[in-house]
Amino acid sequence: MNKPMQITRPTRARHLVLALTVAAYMITYMDRVVISAAVPSIQHEFGFSIVTMGWVLGSFRWGYSLFQIPGGWLGDKLGARRALTWIVVWWSVFCSATAGMWNASTMIACRFLFGVGEAGAFPIATRSLSRWMLPSERGFAQGITHAGSRLGAALTPPIVTWILVRYGWRAAFVSFGSLGLIWAAIWHWYYRDTPAEHSGVNAAELELISQKVAVKKAAPSAVPWKLILGSSQMWILSAMYFCYSYSLAVYLDWFPKYLNAERGFSIEKMGLYASLPLFAGTVGDICGGWASDRLTHRMGLCAARRIVAISGFLLAAASILAACLVSDSVQSVGYSCLAMFGLELTVGVAWAIPLDIGGDFAGSVSAVMNTLGNVGGAIATTLSSYLVKYYGWSATFIVMSVLSVLAALLFTRIDAGKKIA
């Protein structure tokens, strides 16, 4: 009697790749949020005005914005393994170096170079997943990676306040900068640019990925910039992400200061309450990506992406207004949690779309989107300091609410099923 053929189960190396990518996203946000929790201490030591502090915070975002496309191009040309290793080392060094800066000019320069390093992180990480994740896993993958970034951001304020109360704000930058160096070594050791190159991928997993994903050889090919930059959908996607990133930047860079200066929280309580909206955002990231993938099976890719994102932006718009208008400070934090949950429902969807429409050039497509998005973030961080100085904190939040409504309208024009190239 013939023995039944034993079926070999696919390995799950792609899920370990996803886990490493989640860790990278966590570290990017931990490193960038250190300074927002340290703002009151830095202002006290150097005597910076809120406008000067706005330029210090904004310098990171300008470096981050301007080098998105070069960062994405670097990943498409060198491959995610080498490119991501080197840029993580770069930004980790400049994160730690912030501790040695002695005035506004040196701090602005250092934060700008820190932003240059982090600029390629998301585009290159998106490319690193494009050859590994199945289409049915992409919404969840993008949701959980961005959830990792928000979780990292949420954990950071209380840790930073604990460090600065005991050891000073400089120790916080050195501590967090060291994490990236450890991650870079692990990534270079484990990751490969295609599943076929990875010794931990068995034939069953390789066949599964090959059936679902157009896996090409690691050799670089020319990026079709004319098609990418000539696509109207590319610019609608980027405008939507501009609106999203504007609001996110205010929460990441100014919310701890807002709680301390406007809502009267102490430094210790500021760290705790500033983390709560970011925890809510973490839940939103996971829910948004999961819901998008579930709805895709029922109503198709385009409708699923739109429903989740539009719902999130409208929830954010209403909650942002409520948060700035309510008189009770704890209630204001509660509404801010709802606002961040709504904003983050959209982000897994937004980052899945470059995979949907960009294919093997997802790194370059996401780089264009993230460039325009982070121009919004850079404008938000600096502009908010002027709005606060001349019109008060409420003006800043009203602008965020209006932009969330605009983002919802823009998403009605985005078709995730329409390929760019």
DSSP 343-402: HHHTHHHHHHHHHHHHGGGHHHHHHHHHHHHHHHHHHHHHHHHHHHHHH-HHHHHHHHHH
333's CB contacts (< 8 A; 6+ apart) are 259, 263, 273, 276, 277, 323
% of residues, the chain, pLDDT over 70: 91
What digits encode the pLDDT tens for the residues 324-346?
Answer: 999 999 999 999 999 999 999 99
Topology of domain 13-411, CATH? Growth Hormone; Chain: A; (1.20.1250)
Query: What pLDDT does 145 receive?
Result: 78
The arithmetic mean of pLDDT across residues 376-395, rounded, is: 92
What digits encode the pLDDT tens for the residues 254-300?
Answer: 898 899 888 888 877 887 888 899 889 888 877 887 787 778 777 77
Query: What pLDDT does 5 receive?
Result: 47
pLDDT band at 56 (very low <50, low <70, confident <90, very high): very high
pLDDT band at 211 (very low <50, low <70, confident <90, very high): low
At residue 157, the 3 state secondary structure works out as helix
pLDDT band at 2 (very low <50, low <70, confident <90, very high): low
Residue 72 has pLDDT above 80, yes or no: no
Residue 216 has pLDDT above 60, yes or no: no
Q: Which two tokens stand for residue 7?
A: 């079926």
What digits encode the pLDDT tens for the residues 344-369?
Answer: 999 878 878 887 787 767 767 877 88
Residue 412 has pLDDT above 70, yes or no: yes
Query: What pLDDT does 209 receive?
Result: 67
**Class of residue 102 by CB neighbours under 10 A (exposed 0-12, middle 13-18, buried 19+):** exposed
The arithmetic mean of pLDDT across residues 405-414, rounded, is: 93
Query: What pLDDT does 4 receive?
Result: 52
What DSSP string describes 87-99?
A: HHHHHHHHHHHGG
Query: What pLDDT does 247 receive?
Result: 93
162's CB contacts (< 8 A; 6+ apart) are 271
Contact between 345 and 406 (Cβ < 8 Å): no
Q: Rounding to the nearest 10 degrees, give the CA dihedral for residues 403, 380, 374, 290.
A: -50
Residue 111 to residue 101: CA distance in whole angstroms: 10
50's CB contacts (< 8 A; 6+ apart) are 43, 257, 385, 388, 389
Residues recorded for the chain? 421
Residue 68 has pLDDT above 80, yes or no: no
Q: Which two tokens stand for residue 257?
A: 């200061």
Q: By mean pLDDT, which of 170-179, 237-246, 345-354, 389-398 is the weakest?
A: 345-354
Residue 253 to residue 382: CA distance in whole angstroms: 10
List phi, psi (to 5°) of 147. Answer: -60, -40
What digits encode the pLDDT tens for the residues 163-172?
Answer: 888 888 889 9
What digits encode the pLDDT tens for the residues 100-150?
Answer: 898 999 999 999 999 998 888 877 887 777 777 776 676 677 667 777 887
CA distances from 258 to 84, 262, 380, 393, 399 (A): 34, 5, 14, 8, 16
pLDDT band at 218 (very low <50, low <70, confident <90, very high): very low
10's CB contacts (< 8 A; 6+ apart) are 202, 204, 205, 207, 208
List the chain domain ranges.
Answer: 13-411
At residue 132, the 3 state secondary structure works out as coil
Contact between 376 and 246 (Cβ < 8 Å): yes
Residue 107 to residue 87: CA distance in whole angstroms: 20
CA distances from 70 to 97, 154, 359 (A): 23, 29, 18
Q: Which two tokens stand for residue 206?
A: 């390789």
Query: What pLDDT does 65 receive?
Result: 83
First to last CA, the chain: 53
Query: What pLDDT does 23 receive?
Result: 86
Residue 219 has pLDDT above 50, yes or no: no
At residue 333, the 3 state secondary structure works out as helix
Q: Would you tell me how many other CB atoms lie within 10 Å of the CB of residue 348?
A: 32
Residue 215 has pLDDT above 70, yes or no: no
Mean pLDDT (the chain, rounded): 84
Residue type, 14: R
Residue 404 has pLDDT above 90, yes or no: yes
Query: What pLDDT does 360 receive?
Result: 67
Q: Which two tokens stand for residue 254?
A: 């100014």
